[in-house]
A and B are shown apart, each in its own frame.
Chain A
Amino acid sequence: MSIQLEGKIERKGFGPGTWALVTTDGETYELRKAPTDLQKDGLNVKVSGQIRDDVMTFAMVGPVLEVEQFEIRD
C-alpha cells in the first residue's frame, strides 16, 4: 500500500549519514533509495512510496520509506 507524505528532507548524521523525510507533523522517515533530486538538505517535498517493514538499516531514525514518486514544492 502506497502512502503519501509531506515534509522536509534532512540529512541525518548517523554513520556516514542518511537521507530522511521529516513530515509536517514531526514524524521521521528514513528514505530508501532516495532519488538524487531529493538528496538536498531542507528541500520541501511531497513524497509517495511504500513502508518497507522487511528492511533494517544502520541509521534507525524511523520507518523506512521506499520512494516511488515525489514532487518538489520549493
Chain B
Amino acid sequence: MKRFLLLVLFLVGLGWALTTYPGLATQGTYNSIILDFREDVGAAQIESQLEAIAQQHLVSPRYNSEFSLDDHIFVVKGDQSLLKKLQQSPLRKLTEYIEPNYIYSKYAIPNDPEYGKQWNFRSINVEQAWDETKGKDITVAVIDTGISPVPDLENTKFAAGYDFVNDQAEAKDDNGHGTHVAGTIAQSTNNSFGVAGIAYEASLMPLKVLSAEGGGTVADIAEAIRFAADHEADVINMSLGGGGESSLMKEAIAYAHSKNVVVVAAAGNSGRNAAEYPARYPYVIGVSALDAAGNKTPYSNYGAGIDISAPGGLISGEDKAGGILQNTVNPLTGESVFEAYQGTSMAAPHVAGVAALVKAMGVEHPDEVEEAIKQSAFPVKDDNLNEYGAGRLNAAEAVKVAGRGKFSFKDFFRWLRDNGYLNPRFWFDGGIIALWPKVLMVLGSYLLAWFLKHYFPFAWTWSMATGLVMGSSGLFFLRGLYIYDAPQWPFRLMGSSIPELGTAIQATGLLNPFFASVLIPLALIALLLGHSQLKWFAIGTTIGVSVCLAVSAVMDPALMWLGDGAIARIFLAGNALLCLALARLVLKPEGRIAS
C-alpha cells in the first residue's frame, strides 16, 4: 500500500515537473555572425585572421559600425554551418564570443483602417503570431446563423458549407451574429479596408443552424458538427449554447475529435457558475469572456467547463468602444455594417482563430492544439472560481509553442491521453459535487482520530493512516481514471473505500449494506488485533468507515435493497455509531497502556 502511494506521488510529481519544465529558450532567425575579438589581440593579428576567414569561407568580414572598430566587433555573412565552423576554429581562442546576429523585427501592423479599434487583437498578441503564420490551408467551420459575403470578407477563402435551417447548400446569414463571429476568425486583413481577422489566410465553412431569431435545435447542430468533421474542417467554432445534455451531440463531438477536429465553444452569458452545453462536453475548449482590461466580464459564465478566457468585450450604454468590432450584416436591411458586439460568442472565435494558427504550424491532434493554447496562456493568479481556465489567450506564445514542434511534457501527456484519459466529467461536472463528500470523509476521519487520540493517546502510524483513507474515502481519484481498451472496474475497485467495495464493480453509486456496515471493521479487528502493526490498520479502517457511513447517512443515503429514505439513513447512522463504539472499545485499553 505504502509503495503504491509512493508510486502515485511519484507520478504526480513527475507530471508536475514535466509540465512546468520551460524547455530551451526559443531561437530567433539570423543571416550573419558577430565576432568579438579580445581586447588584447592586436590590430595586425585581427587583420590576418579576418583575411584567413575571408579566403577560407569566401565571405567578407566588416565592421558592424564605425564605433565597433575600437570594440573589435566584426560581422560576417553566414548561417548556422559557418557559425559552427567558426566556433570550432582556432579563432575561438582569440575572441570573447562568436554568436548569431539575431534579427529583431518590428511586427507588421495591418493596413486595415479600423484596426486601431481592435484592442482585442493587441491583447492576445496576434501581431507577433502573424510573423509565423496566418492560418494558411486550415478550414474553420462556423456553426452559427450562417455567413454573408460582406465586403470585408472579400479576400477570405470559403469552403462549401450547408444551411441546416432551410436545408439548402447556401448558408447566408439573416441575423448578423455568424458573419461577425466569422469576421473575428478570418476577416480579410491587409486589404486597406475595414478591420482585421486572426487567421485571415484560413478558409471559412459556413454552417447555418440558428434561425434569424437566433435559436436552433440540438439535432441540427449535431448534424452540422458531423458535416464539418466529414468535410475536412480543422476547427469548429460554436458561439452558441443552452439546453440539456444530449448523447446525440456528445457523440457528434467525440466523432469530430476522432477526426482531429478542434472544437471550441462559448461558455454562455448568464453569469452563472458552469459553462453551457456544448462548452462543457469533453473534447470541447470552453471559453469565458474578458473585457478590455482583461477581467472576466460580469455576463460570462465561469467555473466548470471553462478551459481558457479570451476577449468578448463589454459594452456600456451607447459607448461601444469596449465591444468587439467586425464587419457583419444588418439583420433588418441585409446591408453591410461594422458593428461592435459583446458576449462569450465573441470570445470563442478568438480561440478558434488561434487554434487555426496553431494547426497551421503543423500541430495536428486536437488535444495537442488545446495544450499549446492552454500552456501558452497568460496565467491568472488566485483564480479560485475558475473564471479564466488556463489563463488569458496569448496567440503569439501559442504559435511559438506550436513551432517548437514538441511541448516539454509531450511524451508524458501523450502517454496520458493515448493510454489513460483523466475523465474531465469527474474533475469538473460531476466532480465538484462528488468531490466534497470525499474530502469531508477523509478530513472527518482524521479529525475523529485526532479527537479519539485526545482521550486514548496512541501514536500515528502508516498503518493507521492507510486504514483511515481506505475506510473513509479510498483513493477516490482513481475512480476517474479511464484507459482505452482496458476495463475500468479495476480503477473503481482500487479507488473505492471499504464501504464502497460491495458495488464498485457494478458502479451503481448505491452502497451494499453488507460492506457499508460495521461487519468488515469488526472482522478486521478480530483478525488483526493480535498484530502489533496491522492492528492500527484495522483501527484506522474502523474510524474511517464510521465517518464514511456518517457522511453518507447525511448527504447521500442510497443503499441496495434498502432504498434512499429513512431506513437507509437509520441503517447507515446506526452502523457509523457501531463503528465508533468499536474503535473506542479497542482504543480504550490501548490508551491505558500508552498513558
Contacts and interface: CB of A to CB of B under 8 A. Distances in A.
B242 interface: yes
A15 B215 contact: no
Nearest to A55: B215
Contact of A58 (B218, B240, B270, B299): B240
A45 B484 CA distance: 53
List 9 tightest A-B contacts by C-beta distance, closest first.
A15-B177, A60-B268, A14-B343, A53-B244, A16-B176, A57-B215, A56-B242, A60-B269, A60-B241
Interface in B183-230: 210, 213-219, 221
Given A14-B342, A15-B345, A55 B242 contact: yes
17 contacts: A13-B342, A15-B175, A16-B176, A54-B217, A54-B219, A55-B215, A55-B216, A55-B242, A56-B210, A56-B215, A56-B241, A57-B242, A60-B241, A60-B268, A60-B344, A60-B345, A62-B270
Contacts, number: 100
Given A15-B341, A58-B145, A61-B270, A32 B215 contact: yes
Given A14-B299, A56-B241, A56-B278, 18 more contacts: A32-B213, A52-B215, A53-B244, A54-B217, A55-B215, A56-B217, A56-B240, A56-B242, A58-B144, A58-B240, A58-B343, A60-B266, A60-B276, A60-B343, A60-B344, A61-B299, A62-B270, A64-B243
A59 interface: yes
Contacts of B331: 16
B239 interface: yes
Interface of B: 144-145, 175-177, 180, 210, 213-219, 221, 239-244, 246, 266, 268-270, 276-278, 299, 301, 315, 331, 339, 341-345
A54 B216 CA distance: 8
A22 B339 CA distance: 26
A73 interface: no
A25 to B, nearest CB: 15
Nearest to B331: A16
Contacts of B345: 14-15, 58, 60
B510 to A, nearest CB: 27
Contact of B242 (A12, A13, A15, A63): A63
Contacts of A57: 210, 214-216, 240-242
B395 to A, nearest CB: 23
A44 interface: no
A27 to B, nearest CB: 9
Contact of A56 (B243, B270, B315): B243
Contacts of B217: 54-56
Contact of A14 (B144, B145, B246, B341): B341
A10 to B, nearest CB: 13
A14 B347 CA distance: 12
Contacts of B276: 56, 60
Contacts of A28: 270
A60 B176 CA distance: 16
Interface size class of A (residues with CB under 8 A): 20 to 34
Q: Is the interface of B mostly helix, strand, loop or mixed?
A: loop
Contacts of B213: 32-33
A52 B270 CA distance: 17
B349 to A, nearest CB: 12
A14 B177 CA distance: 9
Contacts of B243: 52-56, 64
B239 A54 contact: no
Contacts of A63: 242
Contacts of B239: 58
A52 B246 CA distance: 13
A59 B346 CA distance: 11
A15 B221 contact: no
Contacts of B246: 54
Nearest to B178: A58
A60 B246 CA distance: 17
Contacts of A58: 144-145, 177, 210, 214, 239-240, 266, 343, 345
A60 B180 contact: no
A65 to B, nearest CB: 11
B26 to A, nearest CB: 38
A63 B241 CA distance: 10
B277 A56 contact: yes
Nearest to B301: A60
A40 to B, nearest CB: 17
A43 B241 CA distance: 26
- Interface hub of A30, A52, A54, A64 (most chain B Cβ within 10 A): A54
Interface string A24-36: 0000101011000
Nearest to B177: A15
Contacts of B219: 54
